[in-house]
Amino acid sequence: MKVLILMGSESDKPVMQESQNYLQYFGIESEMIVASAHRNPDKVRELVINAQPQGYGVIIAAAGMAAALPGVVSAYTSLPVLGVPLEGGLPGGVDALYSIVQMPAGLPVGTLAVGKAGAKNAAVLAARIIALSNKKIAERVEAFKQNGYRV
């Protein structure tokens, strides 16, 4: 099972690279794609509706400011969606945090911390989800825990 990492802007890559680094540690294949809910809504839709048939089991969606991407992703899929709020608008990224965490009932987005900590935790949470059905990943998650939650 793979993880799709979507982000709203090219400038988000340095932060979201942390997700990819952690997923590599767990031995989970991932792909990182820039697709904005505002600037590329058709691209987002196509990526998301084709994610599960292409072997993705979890989607990490990161965005700043209005942070519509994680919610839009959730509307198009039944896969777990993990939202990473990014700084870019109000100080500390609180605008993005509120946008992602305040989803309407029935459209869940698991919301992580703002920035790099959230990017790392999104990968760890994705690994824990995948570990439910993959013994090899479960062993790596346990080793991560035994190593003090460090890569």
**Structural domains in the chain?**
2-147 (3.40.50.1970)
Distance (Å, whole) CA 69 – CA 79: 15
Task: Give the model's pLDDT for residue 23.
Answer: 98
Q: What's the pTM?
A: 0.96
Q: Quick: pLDDT tens for 105-138.
A: 999 999 999 999 999 999 999 999 999 999 999 9
The binding site consists of 9, 12, 39
Residue 18 has pLDDT above 90, yes or no: yes
Residues annotated within the binding site for substrate are 9, 12, 39
* Residues 82-97: tens digit of each pLDDT: 999 999 878 889 999 9
Token digits for 54? 């292409």
Whether the per-residue pLDDT at 102 is higher than 90: the answer is yes
pLDDT at 88: 85
Sign, CA dihedral 133-20-53-80, equals: positive
| Mean pLDDT across the chain | 96
